[in-house]
Chains A and B, each alone.
Chain A
Amino acid sequence: MKKQLIVTIFTSILALLTYFGFQIYKKIKAKKVFAEQVKRLPKSTNFQWVGKQTPNNDAPTIILFFNPDCDHCQYEAQAILEHPSDFVNTNFWWVTTVDSSAINNFSKKYHLDKLSKHYFAKLSTEKVIETFGSVSVPNIFIYDKTGVLQKEFRGETKIEALLTYTNQH
């Protein structure tokens, strides 16, 4: 009886270790793929744009994952709004998984709809994972005008830090 119990427990532990090991391997492999993928600016055709505007890749681009209800995203929007002249030559892709009406409310609330070069897109959660891997909100990707990733910031980021990477080319 005891022997059976020992065999059962050790088999379960071995099964758990194998399961975790396999999942860890899969996750690490996927992470490497996403790390390579985000090094280039994703095609704008992959996004479902909200509003009339669709972006041109003629300038450095900041992709900003956000959620209208997130405090740090609201802070980020307010900070960007207060420095319009610093970003005249920068495209902003505001990307979120929420519906179009919430996106419109957010862009109106922070007057981002009045600024040129600010584009809003809705992306399904599956598409976000497919394109960027796991992202937090806010999650910021800064690309130069040739579409090469310069820096990724997870979480709220000050304007000076954004400018460091948009102004370097």
Chain B
Amino acid sequence: MQLVREVSNVFLFSIMTIILLAITYIYNEFLISDSTYYNTFAEQLSSVRIEEIIEQNKKLRWLSYCLIPIIYFFKFSIVTLALYIGFFFSNREAKLSHLFKSVLLSEFIFLFVPIIKVIWFLSQNNSYDLKDLQSYYPLSALLLFDLSTLDAWQIYPLQLFNVFELIYWLLLANCLKYFFDISLTQGMKIVLNSYVLGLFLWIFFVIFLLV
């Protein structure tokens, strides 16, 4: 456990980014093939137009790699800020670097999602389309519904309600307990009052935009 305390945030963030880049590479090179595009657009678009989309997307792939560290750094910072506000209102002092580390360590649980996704779709023999790829979320509430009966705005909130998210809350509370010497219950209270509340606000905002 001492090692966790000593390891730097930059190192943890770099490891996380490298793993995410590797997963994105596998995703782009092995999961999204030409037939995925054909499965998605063949009903509506001519093959010439589909080829154009494929070429265009291949040209823009580098952008997805560049955006990964930026998007994730932004996400971790927002969660850190939410937790900081939670600490402030519970009359406790909190070092931002320790909060950021708690977020980073807990976020590793979400790496299982794309890994499971990659394994799942590699076993599907290209019989899926881009919508399947985007909407599949292992161990989420979405799996309880028939995708074809859902509106676009219903997919995201159902994806967010998943087992990994619940484990993430627990891990966050545990990290807070470890770094700030508080009980697990106190840690969970801070997580619920800050991060989870913010998450609900975010879900409502996204649904508002999607409907």
B89 touching A21 by the CB < 8 A rule?
no
Residue of B nearest to A5 (CB): B89
A157 touching B205 by the CB < 8 A rule?
no
Residue of A nearest to B207 (CB): A24
A16 touching B89 by the CB < 8 A rule?
no
Min CB distance A142 to B, Å, is 12
Residue of A nearest to B47 (CB): A158
Contact A157:B44 (CB < 8 A) given known A2-B89, A6-B89, A31-B211: yes
Min CB distance A153 to B, Å, is 6
Give the complex CA separation of A11 and B23 in angstroms: 41
Query: Chain B contacts of A159 at CB under 8 A?
Result: 46
A158 touching B197 by the CB < 8 A rule?
no
Contact A13:B201 (CB < 8 A) given known A20-B207, A24-B208, A31-B211: yes
Query: Chain B contacts of A21 at CB under 8 A?
Result: 204
Proximity bits, A52-83, B CB within 8 Å = 1, else 0 = 00000000000000000000000100000000
Is the C-beta of B43 less than 8 angstroms from some C-beta in chain A? yes
A158 touching B44 by the CB < 8 A rule?
yes
| Interfacial residues of chain B within 183-211, with CB under 8 A of chain A in the complex | 197, 200-201, 204-205, 207-208, 211
**Tally of chain B residues near chain A (CB < 8 A):** 16
Min CB distance A31 to B, Å, is 7
Proximity bits, A11-31, B CB within 8 Å = 1, else 0 = 001001100110110011001
Query: Chain A contacts of B197 at CB under 8 A?
Result: 13
A17 touching B200 by the CB < 8 A rule?
yes
Is the C-beta of B45 less than 8 angstroms from some C-beta in chain A? yes
**Tally of chain A residues near chain B (CB < 8 A):** 22
Query: Chain B contacts of A153 at CB under 8 A?
Result: 44
Query: Chain A contacts of B201 at CB under 8 A?
Result: 13, 16-17
A161 touching B204 by the CB < 8 A rule?
no
A156 touching B89 by the CB < 8 A rule?
no
Residue of A nearest to B45 (CB): A158
B204 touching A24 by the CB < 8 A rule?
yes
**Option from A2, A5, A20, A156 in Cβ contact (under 8 Å) with B49:** A156
Give the complex CA separation of A6 and B88 in angstroms: 10
What are the 7 A-B residue pairs with the smallest beta carbon separation, nearest first? A20-B204, A27-B211, A158-B46, A20-B208, A157-B44, A24-B207, A6-B89
22 A-B pairs with CB atoms under 8 Å apart are: A2-B91, A6-B89, A16-B201, A17-B201, A17-B204, A20-B204, A20-B205, A20-B208, A23-B208, A24-B207, A24-B208, A27-B208, A31-B151, A75-B49, A155-B44, A156-B44, A157-B45, A158-B44, A158-B45, A158-B46, A158-B49, A159-B46
A residues whose Cβ falls under 8 Å from a Cβ of B: 2, 5-6, 13, 16-17, 20-21, 23-24, 27-28, 31, 75, 153, 155-161
B residues whose Cβ falls under 8 Å from a Cβ of A: 43-46, 49, 89, 91, 151, 197, 200-201, 204-205, 207-208, 211
